[in-house]
Amino acid sequence: MISFVLAWIARLVSGATVKWTAPLVPNRQRVYFANHASHLDFVLIWSALPPIMRARTRPVAGSDYWGKGVIRRYISTKVFNAILIERAGAAGSASHAKESINAIANGMGADNSIIVFPEGTRSMNGEILPFKSGLFHLCGLKPELELVPVYLANMNRILPKGEVLPVPLIGRVIVGAPMRYEAGEDKAIFLARARDAMLALKAQ
Amino acid sequence: MRFFHTTLGTLVTGVLALLVVASIVGFVLSRSAKSDQARATVSNLNARIRAWWVMVAVFGVAVGTGGVGSIILFFLMSFLAMREFLTLTPTARADHAAIFWAFFIFAPIQYVLVWMQWYGLFAVLIPVYGFVAITSRMALSGDTERFLERTATVQWGLMACVYCVSHAPALLMLQIPGYTGNGATLLFYLVLVAQFNDVMQYVWGKLVGRKPVAPTVSPNKTWGGFLGGTATAVAVGTALYWVTPFTPLIAAVMSLAITLLGFAGGLVMSAIKRDRGVKDYGTLIEGHGGVLDRIDSLLFAAPVFFHLIRFFYVP
């Protein structure tokens, strides 16, 4: 119930229209990966999904923000059933990152999809940052996953990093065609391919 | 239904009758269209007519309530228009607070002033206090890159979408001797002539339009459309003199002012769209584009119409 209200608010504030560039089959385990500019992002993507898919889609969020405080913790874990991970940060070690990937894979189980932001943090100016390697390592564990690029337009203007109050400009959610990790694909090549697929949606 | 026995009710009934005729014509055309291009044009025409039913219903109800409904409707239109405008034009990260003020401080206060009928502050809020506040706030943000362009963009959006548009419901605050309590009728008259001019320019343009008035700005605005539309709208505006405080001659002059300024408003907003590489400001109204695409003809017409009446009719 609260999730529906929040999704409605996110849609109202962002005025977002949703554009599907390719049909998606329901009931398939997939990773929606999107550019990240605002705290509204995951709610907005979640609200763009058909209700039947929402119930099985868990956002992946940094526990350093979404795990702090009663309200944030309630919204992230109870309302949206988020998978909270500790972000590696600059001093993050390899074992630390591995732990996070395992936590995500466990959280996905056999039939949950996830929403991730592979840039790892919110972009300041709307430019898309290089992808962190989490997406690659997750595909190593679960190579069968369908990877769906999502481009969020204008969210960096609606609620930029560091601002508390949103302005009512019009956002857009553009959902791309699913792609897959190809066995043995090089990490840098794969991440660049995924990023390009997301960037290509910008022109849609 | 006492409403339909008033002057305003008669006007609304007339517009509804016009829509019935338009819908029938649209239906007949959809049966007779042969080529793909003709079918696309007729399909867009019928989408526009369908949207007109909704817009007339909303506007009719709002104006029918007298003051408050009209003020709320125009506030919402201003808000949505500015949303479309500022989405389309580039702003920077540092403009966030100023844009927030434009939407949530200046736009609401402007319409509260219309409601309070506080003309003195209504007339200067945005050009004076808005001008000072928006530019100062953006300077405080510290980003000087393209500073003049950015401040001008936000200021312009507020002027066009809020300040100019608010002059339409502000007609309700004018106390015209022998015409008191009829502000809503005057508002309906303004919107009717301006929008009818738009429609007629479109129709004449499709029928006899050849040479564009300003080819680099809008290839759809042709001399044929302009002259035919202006003549038709002025004729209707003159024929409706009896709902206004004007004599027939003055009604003709006022209608001419509304149509010429409506054309100018549409042209200026087209120039901005063309510069930004889009055809419409939004997608909210099927067949028409966004709210701003629909009300661009009121931007210049509303304040000038308001001040003409205020100057010549309000003691």
* Rounded Cα distance, A177 and B75, in Å: 40
Cα B57 to its chain centre, rounded Å, is 16
Among B87, B105, B142, which Cα is nearest to B276's?
B87
Q: CA A172 to CA B286: how far, in whole Å?
A: 18
3-state secondary structure of A147: strand
Q: Which tens digits make up the pLDDT trace of B81-132?
A: 999 999 999 888 899 999 999 999 999 999 999 999 999 999 999 999 999 9
What span, in angstroms and rounded, lies between the C-alpha atoms of A146 and A36?
A: 20
Interface of B with A in 97-126 (CB under 8 A): 99-100, 103
C-alpha B8: how far from chain center: 19
Q: What is the mean pLDDT of chain A?
A: 86
Q: What is the pLDDT of residue A88?
A: 59
Q: Give the chain B residue nearest A154 (alpha carbons).
A: B87
Q: Does A89 score more than 60 pLDDT?
A: no
**Domain boundaries, position A52:** 2-203
Residue A127 contacts B where some CB pair is shorter than 8 Å: no
Residue A122 to residue B288: CA distance in whole angstroms: 36
CA A16-B276-A45 angle, to 5 degrees, is: 15
Q: Do A17 and B79 touch (CB under 8 A)?
A: no
How many domains is chain A partitioned into structurally? 1
Q: Which of residues 39-98 of B touch A (CB under 8 A)?
A: 79, 83-84, 86-87, 91, 93, 96
> What is the layout of strands, in order, in the sheet containing A113-116?
A17-20, A172-175, A146-153, A30-34, A113-116, A57-62, A83-85
Q: Where are the domains of chain B?
A: 1-64, 67-166, 179-315
Using DSSP, state whether B110 is helix, strand or coil: helix
For testing the chain A interface, which of B84, B96, B141, B143 should be mutated: the one with the most A CBs within 10 Å? B96
CATH number of the domain that residue A19 is part of: 3.40.1130.10
Would you state the pLDDT for residue B289? 80
What would the mean pLDDT of A192-199 be, rounded to a whole number? 93
ipTM of the prediction:
0.83
Predicted TM-score (pTM) of this structure: 0.89
